[in-house]
Chains A and B, each alone.
Chain A
Amino acid sequence: MESHVVVIFPHPDDEAFGAAGTIAKFREQGVPVTYLCGTLGEMGRNMGNPIFATRESLPNFRKDELLAACEVLDVDLHMLGYRDKTLEFESRSKIAEHLLTYLEEIQPSLVITHYPGHAVHPDHDAFGAAAIEAVQRMEASKRPKVWAQAITNTRLEDLGQPDITLDITPYFEKKFETILAHQSQAAGVLGNMDPSLDKLADIVKNKLAKEQFYQWEF
């Protein structure tokens, strides 16, 4: 049983699509979960469908959506204030140091983040790498486990089978509700996965029923 789980992703909705079932499972067991969200997804392309946001109003909407999603998941949230698309250009060691301040205080038993180099979006790769560097800097005895999420199309051939596979069917409702909290993003992201399916719930059930992670070896 975990004592505290810290989720480190760069964009509001990364937690919804990638780990909402896992988070819901931990919360059901009474495990505290803290989400360190890097940006407000300021540069997202999805403006709602039908469109309701502009490039300038999007961060405000996404902040509200993130708060709502964290309410659904019942997790603590810290918004770290970086800017979407720019994480890879910031100093990795400074970001790691920033993340470390939270990890030292929380002393989690598990950190969930993206698998650097296998997370498709440059922000995912950069933030995952910084998260792993932060954990690396901790004393070995205090170091939490790290579950890294890979989403490249070649992950299985490159990395082998994931170490952790969670069937999140029992938490499907929670996951779907979390995704829908990200109102400006849900339809666009899901539609993009398979435009021929118009029932979003079916897409989530079919495509997002499993959440998988690789355990990071230090």
Chain B
Amino acid sequence: MEAIDVAIVQLKLDEFLNETVYIHIETTNGAYASHHNADVFNVGVFMRNASIRYTQAKIIGDQTGYRVGLKTDNGWVYAEGVREYEIDELDRLLLAGHDREGRLMVALQISRTPFKE
């Protein structure tokens, strides 16, 4: 993955406008968060292969963290804290934010074909 280039990512987001796409969206502080620090609670969520269609998309922010909002016919998809991107060999847009040790904290991925189950 590379540091987000807003122009490239915005162009890619726009490419999927008004198409049926699959998304993977996720955030986590890890399965061992409260094991390593009793003051912390484990939280995490992921949704894989939700099928959506969005009519408006924006990426906003700076290298400390970008926000992405996708406006759908009846709601929104939102992710905060993504800082890296990759357009992979299957032409999927992968966005993620990692902590300083390289651990994934948040991800939003968009694809025309389903992600591997």
Contact = CB atoms under 8 A, between A and B. Distances in A.
Interface in B88-117: 88, 92, 94, 96, 98, 101-105, 107, 109, 115-117
B31 A51 contact: no
Interface residues of A, number: 27
A120 B35 contact: yes
B104 A55 contact: yes
A121 B31 CA distance: 6
Contact of B109 (A46, A49, A50, A56): A56
A46 B28 CA distance: 12
B11 interface: no
Given A43-B46, A45-B103, A46-B103, A51 B94 contact: no
B30 interface: yes
A191 B92 CA distance: 31
Given A121-B31, A121-B32, A153-B35, A56 B116 contact: yes
Contacts of A51: 1, 84, 98, 102
Contact residues on B (Cβ < 8 Å of other chain), bracket: 20 to 34
Contacts of A32: none
A49 B101 contact: yes
Nearest to A152: B35
Contacts of A193: 36
Interface of B: 1, 24, 26, 28, 30-32, 35-36, 38, 46, 84, 86, 88, 92, 94, 96, 98, 101-105, 107, 109, 115-117
